[in-house]
Amino acid sequence: MSTRQIHINGEVCKGCGLCTFYCPKGVLRLSQVPNSKGCRVVEAVRPDACTACRLCETNCPDIALFIES
């Protein structure tokens, strides 16, 4: 199994949560720590469970994250 890296640009993320909704493995969640704009940004809490389906990536309206596999 290859190692996947989840890249999240916290300054671009507005905390809409769409990526967390579409992730079938529960890899992502909204953090309690806001970015400089006051938005709770997404964080990867279970990166080992990522299957690189890229549903989070394709459903992010701000292109705030991408999966590198």
Q: What is the residue-averaged pLDDT of the chain?
A: 94
Report the C-alpha gap between 64 and 15 in whole angstroms: 10
Question: Residue 1: pLDDT band by 50, 70, 90 thresholds?
Answer: very low
Among 38, 12, 35, CA closest to 57: 12
Spans of all domains in the chain: 5-68
Q: What is the pTM of this model?
A: 0.87
Alpha-carbon separation of residue 64 from 7, 14, 41, 43, 52 (angstroms): 8, 9, 10, 11, 16
> Options 3.40.190.290, 3.30.70.1350, 3.40.50.720, 3.30.70.20; which CATH number does 5-68 get?
3.30.70.20
Q: What is the mean pLDDT of residues 45-66?
A: 96
Q: Which amino acid is at 58?
A: T
Q: Which amino acid is at 50?
A: C
Supply 57's token pair.
Answer: 């990536």
Question: Residue 2: pLDDT band by 50, 70, 90 thresholds?
Answer: low
Q: What is the mean pLDDT of residues 9-37?
A: 96
